[in-house]
Amino acid sequence: MGVSLEEIDRTQLAEDQFVFSSFNHTWLLEIRKRRPEIKLEALLGYPEIRPLNWGELEFDTYNVNSKLTNADEVKQITNKGIQVNLYNIEDKDEINQFVAAGATGFITDYPKMMSEMGYRRN
């Protein structure tokens, strides 16, 4: 982690140009202590076991394996003001359900499918 923070310093780019996303939430919390200005996004869904461990919802954003959650759970989390991005999502009906539930974004290998569905960048 120290090396990663040193690399950010060496680039001389603004900290708001970086996002740290990891399955290692302890590591992310340590980064928050050292550099609270850096955006953190917790990954959930590896290994692929249920139920997901959202911890104490200590992050503003979670990147979640869509195969391990559902629209109701996403709605519960987003209703608390937490952003949820989903990955491993390939089904149009699921995308629509997650959008209706308040999902913030999608991490996908199929951006064309998203644009065909009418989703556009703001």
Distance (Å) of CA 45 to CA 13, 59, 61, 112: 31, 15, 14, 25
- Which whole number is the average pLDDT over 11-29? 89
pLDDT > 80? residue 114: no
Domain-by-domain residue ranges, the chain? 2-116
Q: Residue 121: its pLDDT value, please?
A: 64
pLDDT, one tens digit per residue, over 41-68 is 999 999 888 889 999 999 999 999 999 9
Tally Cβ neighbours within 10 Å of residue 78: 17
pLDDT, one tens digit per residue, over 86-104 is 998 888 899 999 999 999 9
Domain 2-116: CATH architecture, name and number where available: Alpha-Beta Barrel (3.20)
DSSP letter assigned to residue 17: G
